[in-house]
Amino acid sequence: MPKIVHIITRFVNGGADENTLLTCNAQAEAHDVTLIHGAENSGRMIAQLDARVRRICVPSLVREIAPAKDLAALARLSVHLRRLRPDIVHTHTSKAGVIGRMAALAAPGAAIVHGVHILSFNAEGGVRRRLYLGLERLVAPVTHAFINVSEGMREECLQHGLGEAARHWVIASGMEVDRFRGASPADFPSARSGGERPIRICYVAALERRKRHRELLKAVVPLLRMYPHVELILAGEGPERAGLEAAAREAGIESQVQFLGFRDDIESVLAASDICVFTSEREGLPRALIQYALAGKPIVATRLPGIERVLRDGSNGYVVSADAFDEFATRLQALILDRDLRARMAAQSQSIDFSDWDGQRMTGQLEAVYRKLLSGRTRGGRGSRDAQRTGDVA
């Protein structure tokens, strides 16, 4: 039974974390699986982890740059991997990706896999960008397989010299796709009493700075003032909440902005929404965008790598440049004013084939990559090129 160790910085309510949870649980059926995560973790996520998955917390593994903790995390991960002697070490997210791949060298013979959910250097400049990119380039040569969540992520990696094409696969981040088709609308209360049904603009994302809720709020303030029947629905929790609530109060639109916090029934929240938005400055290919389209919604989003696979500009929504929030507001206004436009774009979202995002398909594709790596290691030593190929996994 192959031994697999997954390493992730945080194990919270996020896209990469949910991807890792699904993967660990599916692999527990046939493999010896261990999940190692850092100090920040969610009881909800831990409760959903299959009982057969061994879980190890490394408190020194944190998201921010912290040299002393980073060195401690590297040492602790090395000890765990030396003891576990895994066949495959699969890292996720940027910080765990760098430290975890370094630590994997303490497990001779292990195939090293990295999940490219996001590239942290994309949204940085100056010294930070050079540092982050330099660290990615440092560990790229020891990585036997890169698992990219989109074609855009693979192209970004190759453009920046992070491994050659033969070591890159594209595997969509799986989920329960049927859950979002035809869900019953959530019955959350409207801030309005009486009158016409509100038009709800929904953003599903953790309330973190990089998701740019502040910029979104600033962009929609004029629209909310102009159209009292429009509401902004923010589904997610995080450190930005208090500041966003204060900003809504100061702008006098607090009655039109609903903070739902984290929701387990996100499919029902989307079913009760009319327009969906996404404004993050850096992502892989966000799972929320897939869920918006599965729910059959018109979408307005900032440009991200690979977004064209989900959001076809002018067809099921609009793609705007990263900092073009005036245009963002204009696109939203068009959808607010035109019910028929919303309906046409919703129908286009519903027509997209999202079978690639099926959870079982994802884990099956990942299993195929693992088999190639393990076969190559057996025949020709770790990282044999016979175990690699270019392109998507069929």
Q: What is the pLDDT of residues 185-227, one digit of tens each?
A: 998 766 555 567 899 999 999 999 989 999 999 999 999 999 9
Nearest to 295 by CA among 232, 220, 333, 346: 346
378: pLDDT strictly greater than 70: no
Q: What is the pLDDT of residue 28?
A: 97
DSSP states along 239-271: TTHHHHHHHHHHHT-GGGEEEEES-S-HHHHHH
Q: What is the pLDDT of residue 391?
A: 42
Q: Which two tokens stand for residue 33?
A: 């699986």
State how far the Cα of 192 lies from the Cα of 294, in Å rounded to an integer: 28
pLDDT, tens digit, for every residue of 296-343? 999 999 998 889 989 999 999 999 998 899 999 999 999 999 999 999
The one-letter amino acid code at 17 reads D
* CATH for the stretch 177-355: 3.40.50.2000
Contact 50, 28 (CB under 8 A): yes
Average pLDDT, the chain: 91
Q: How confident is the model at residue 384 (pLDDT cuts 50, 70, 90)?
A: very low
Which among 313, 46, 257, 276 is positioned nearest to 180, based on CA atoms? 276
Q: Two tokens at 381?
A: 């030593």
Rounded to whole angstroms, how far apart are CA atoms 120 and 131? 10
User: Rounded CA gap, 157 and 139, in Å?
Assistant: 13
Look at residue 151 and tell me whether its pLDDT is greater than 50: yes
For residue 13, the model assigns a pLDDT of 86
Residue 379 burial class via C-beta count within 10 angstroms: exposed 0-12, middle 13-18, buried 19 and up: exposed
Q: Are 3-174+358-387 and 177-355 equal in CATH topology?
A: yes
Side chain identity at residue 380, one-letter code: G
CB-based contact 20:6 (threshold 8 Å): yes
For the segment 135-156, the average pLDDT, to the nearest whole number, is 94
CB 125 within 8 A of CB 288: no
Name residues whose C-beta falls within 8 Å of residue 157's C-beta, 6 or more positions apart in sequence. 116, 119, 146, 148, 163, 168
The tens digit of pLDDT for each residue in 26-80 reads: 999 999 999 999 999 999 999 999 999 999 999 999 998 899 999 999 999 999 9
How would you class 298 by CB atoms within 10 Å of its CB: exposed for 0-12, middle for 13-18, buried for 19 or more?
Answer: buried
pLDDT digits (tens, 9 = 90+) for 84-121: 999 999 999 999 999 999 999 999 899 999 999 888 88
Instruction: Tell me the three state secondary structure of residue 206.
Output: coil
Report the interhelical angle of 213-226 vs 325-337 (nearest 10°): 40
Cα separation, 154 vs 151, in Å, equals 5
pLDDT of residue 242: 97
CB atoms within 10 A of CB 391: 12
Q: Is 84 left (phi over 0), alpha (psi -120 to 50) or beta?
A: alpha
How far is residue 336's CA from residue 319's CA, in Å, rounded to a whole number? 16
Any idea which fold 3-174+358-387 has?
Answer: Rossmann fold (3.40.50)
Cα–Cα dist 206/145, whole Å: 29
Farthest CA pair distance, the chain? 71
Sorted by where each begins, the domain ranges of the chain are: 3-174+358-387, 177-355
Instruction: Locate 262 and state its tokens.
Output: 């984290």
The residue among 258, 205, 207 whose CA lies nearest residue 232 is 258
CA-wise closest residue to 122 among 160, 161, 66 = 160
